[in-house]
């Protein structure tokens, strides 16, 4: 069985490090991708990382995961709160999916409280900073070992 995780970061997460550092911290997207790869390697998992500002590209990447990935870690950014298409893609590929948000979306604007993904995600990690990605890898490794 494949031991690969698809890591998806959605819109504006390419700006990590400089974007609202009080909310999202100072680690860059490259730091996050390296962190996930490092943590995954501890569990003999490897990672394909992608970031896109375009909903359809994210849908395509999720579909492609069917071919060679065992699980998905996704921070859909603002698409969390708007995208039925990303929800349907995740449901469609039926891979265990960890939803990560760097900030505590429940302590921010009301519109961030609803996620189209959370009820079908294997786990949801919110407000742990970029460390949330680390927790997601650990959880996915546990699920894949079951
Ligand atoms: C985010 C939270 C979203 O509400 C926001 O639109 C983002 C990032 C987070 O990681 O905290 O772009 O997903």
Ramachandran area for residue 80 (φ above 0: left; ψ -120 to 50: alpha; else beta): alpha
pLDDT of residue 2: 82
Contact 102, 132 (CB under 8 A): yes
How far is the CA of 43 from the CAs of 49, 60, 119, 124, in angstroms?
17, 27, 26, 20
**Best of 11, 74, 75 to mutate for ligand 1, by most ligand atoms within 8 A of CB?**
75
Contact 99, 72 (CB under 8 A): no
| CA dihedral over 34, 39, 44, 50, signed as positive or negative | negative
Nearest Cα to Cα of residue 116 among 104, 108, 124, 107: 124
CB under 8 Å, gap of 24 or more: what pairs does 36-44 form?
A: 36/5, 36/7, 36/73, 36/133, 36/134, 36/136, 36/137, 39/133, 39/134, 39/137, 39/138, 40/5, 40/137, 40/141, 43/137, 43/138, 43/141, 44/3
**Alpha carbons 47 and 108: distance in angstroms, whole number:** 31
| 133 included as an active-site residue | no
The ranges of the chain with pLDDT < 70 are none
Ligand 1 within 6 A of CB of 75: yes
**Whose alpha carbon is nearest atom 13 of ligand 1?**
77
The model's pTM is 0.98
C-alpha 1 – ligand 1 centre gap (Å): 32
Count of residues in the chain:
146
pLDDT of residue 93: 98
């Amino acid at each position: 069985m494949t031991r690969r995780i698809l890591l998806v970061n959605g819109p504006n997460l390419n700006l990590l490090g400089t974007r609202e550092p009080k909310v999202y911290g100072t680690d860059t997207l490259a730091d996050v991708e390296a962190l996930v790869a490092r943590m995954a390697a501890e569990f003999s998992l490897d990672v394909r990382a992608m970031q896109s500002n375009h909903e359809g590209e994210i849908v395509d990447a999720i579909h492609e995961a069917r071919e060679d990935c065992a699980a998905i870690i996704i921070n859909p950014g603002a698409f969390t709160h708007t995208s039925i298409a990303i929800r349907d893609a995740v449901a469609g590929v039926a891979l265990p999916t960890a939803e990560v948000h760097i900030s505590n979306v429940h302590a921010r604007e009301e519109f961030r409280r609803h996620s189209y993904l959370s009820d079908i995600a294997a786990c949801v990690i919110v407000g742990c900073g970029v460390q949330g990605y680390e927790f997601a890898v650990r959880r996915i490794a546990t699920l894949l070992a079951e």
